[in-house]
Chains A and B, each alone.
Chain A
Amino acid sequence: EVQLVESGGGLVQPGGSLRLSCAASGLTLSTYWMTWVRQAPGKGLEWVASIKEDGSAQYYVDSVTGRFTISRDNAKNSLYLQMNSLRAEDTAVYYCARGRGGVWGQGTTVTVSS
């Protein structure tokens, strides 16, 4: 069974950092673009970042550029999102997804609040 499992969410103060992880099973991550999507409480879906199969290219939504870094470790079949300088508006459930959304994880909740 194909599965993506996110972890690393939690409560953090404004200006703080978190690192999200996404572990894949049942699929070989190295053959896919991977993506992070977030959903603020009661709101719609927002694409955050994507990374090419070999990690050689990354793309970000403007609101996180310079603060978030997407990366991957294909040997560990894992995807990451390093989030720095967090703001209240980054509060959301963060989902990892395969490519353009073919498979989704269950999400991990990030709350930025003092």
Chain B
Amino acid sequence: DVVMTQSPLSLPVTLGQPASISCRSSQSLAHSDGNTYLHWFQQRPGQSPRRLIYRVSNRESGVPDRFSGSGSGTDFTLKISRVEAEDVGAYYCMQGTHWPWTFGQGTKVEIK
């Protein structure tokens, strides 16, 4: 199985400051169809997850442009340019290239 490793697992951030979460996979997430199925999810406290970024760098409709995704192969990053109070919660990367699909452990973002 593909192991997804996120870091850090806890991320205290000052409002208005940037934040970055790393996600590394144990094997390349490049699919034979040419896509890389690496996605990022946000889960606010008490809510269902929602997808922020699909296929590495594509923002879902309605997601603020302060969220961005980048990377390739086995190394991916989610960046928040200026953290706002509503960004508090857990963030997960997920690979959908290889069966079984797998999630990272999650990164908890909190305000300092």
Which A residues are within 8 Å of any B CB, using their own CB? 35, 37, 44-47, 50, 59-62, 95, 100-102, 104-107
Closest 6 CB pairs of A and B: A100-B96, A47-B101, A44-B106, A104-B48, A45-B103, A101-B51
Q: Say how far A70's CB is from chain B's closest CB, in angstroms.
A: 13
Inter-chain contact A101/B48, CB cutoff 8 Å: no
Which B residues are within 8 Å of any A CB, using their own CB? 1, 37, 39, 41, 43, 48-51, 54, 60, 90, 92, 94, 96, 99-106
Given contacts A47-B103, A100-B54, A101-B51, 15 further A-B pairs with CB under 8 A are A44-B90, A44-B92, A44-B104, A45-B94, A46-B103, A47-B100, A50-B101, A60-B100, A62-B100, A95-B48, A100-B96, A101-B39, A102-B51, A102-B60, A104-B48
> Looking at A47, A59, A106, which has the most chain B CB atoms within 10 Å of its CB?
A47
Taking CB atoms, residues of chain B closer than 8 Å to A35 are 101
Q: Say how far B29's CB is from chain A's closest CB, in angstroms.
A: 12
Inter-chain contact A101/B99, CB cutoff 8 Å: no
Inter-chain contact B41/A47, CB cutoff 8 Å: no
Specify the chain A residue showing the minimal Cβ separation from B97: A100
> Looking at B39, B48, B60, which has the most chain A CB atoms within 10 Å of its CB?
B48
Taking CB atoms, residues of chain A closer than 8 Å to B100 are 47, 59-62
Docked complex Cα distance between A104 and B92 (Å): 14
Taking CB atoms, residues of chain A closer than 8 Å to B103 are 44-47
Q: Say how far A8's CB is from chain B's closest CB, in angstroms.
A: 17
Inter-chain contact B48/A105, CB cutoff 8 Å: yes
> Looking at A44, A61, A95, which has the most chain B CB atoms within 10 Å of its CB?
A44
Inter-chain contact A45/B48, CB cutoff 8 Å: no
Q: Say how far B62's CB is from chain A's closest CB, in angstroms.
A: 12
Taking CB atoms, residues of chain A closer than 8 Å to B51 are 101-102, 104
